Amino acid sequence: MTETVIMPGQHKLPPLPYPYDALEPVISEEALRIHHDLHHKAYVDGLNRAEVALVEARGRNDYAYIKYWENQLAFNGSGHILHSIFWANMAPVGTGGQPGLATATQINLYFGNFNSFRNQFMEAAEKVEASGWGILVWHPAWRRLELLQCEKHQNLTQWSGIPILVCDVWEHAYYLDYQNRRRDYIEKWWNLINWDDVERRLLLAFRGMVPLIL
């Protein structure tokens, strides 16, 4: 696989791997357009601005606004990464397959069985305080999977954890279609999971490789 270095300020909004109406009735076309074209694009733009500002700060050796730009870098960069994974983690209902061999084996190894994993994932995602994500990661340090809650993208993480499956529970992800019924959204979203993509990400993580863009 050819690796391309993304230079500061050169991040692009990745296209969706399906039409805007492909996730209906779980996620409406309108909600998906707003989420991808506006919200995700804002993270990409914010990340590029932060990177360019830091390049300029290094050139001037002037770090008066370092705290602000580092915050913008973490917030927008995390949002871009997680959203890029989120789009690829989904497929139209009925087309996402079943958990692959590696995924199923690792789930059973750590969580005991698939139902226990599913229940913990849903509870974790539902109970994220305020805005954030439910995230299944491959943890190289532990050599196993782990389930995490993530608030505001960059909070409550574990260093080196590689996201494999992510569920966006910021209100912009579901409020247009579900209002405050986060649990309903999560349960229906589960039917959109692209298990082939989850398996691909896990196998790459085994090899120490981290896929980002769709």
> String of b and e for 64-89 (b: at least 16 CB within 10 Å)?
eeeeebeebbbbbbbbbbbbbbbbbb
Q: Output the CA torsion sign for 68, 69, 73, 79.
A: positive
Cβ(189)–Cβ(89) under 8 Å?
Answer: no
**Band of the pLDDT at 152, cuts 50, 70, 90?**
confident
Whether residue 210 is predicted with pLDDT greater than 70 in this model: the reply is no
Parallel/antiparallel/unpaired status of strands 132-139 and 162-168: antiparallel
* Secondary-structure class of domain 101-206 per CATH: alpha beta
Residues of the chain with CATH 3.55.40.20: 101-206
**Band of the pLDDT at 213, cuts 50, 70, 90?**
low
Whether residue 209 is predicted with pLDDT greater than 80 in this model: the reply is no
Distance of CA 170 to the CA centre of its chain: 11
Q: Which residue has the tokens 């890029």?
A: 84
pLDDT digits (tens, 9 = 90+) for 86-122: 999 999 998 999 999 999 999 999 999 999 999 999 9
pLDDT digits (tens, 9 = 90+) for 159-177: 789 999 999 999 999 999 9
pLDDT digits (tens, 9 = 90+) for 36-57: 999 999 999 999 999 999 999 9
Mean pLDDT of 188-210: 92
Q: How far apart are CA 5 and CA 11, in angstroms?
A: 10
- CATH architecture of the domain with range 29-88: Orthogonal Bundle (1.10)
18: its two tokens: 């399906």
CA dihedral 175, 181, 182, 184 (to 10 degrees): -120
**Band of the pLDDT at 1, cuts 50, 70, 90?**
very low
Whether residue 214 is predicted with pLDDT greater than 80 in this model: the reply is no
Return the pLDDT at 156: 64
Supply the mean pLDDT for the chain.
Answer: 93
**Band of the pLDDT at 33, cuts 50, 70, 90?**
very high
pTM, two decimal places:
0.94
Return the pLDDT at 87: 98
Residues of the chain with CATH 1.10.287.990: 29-88
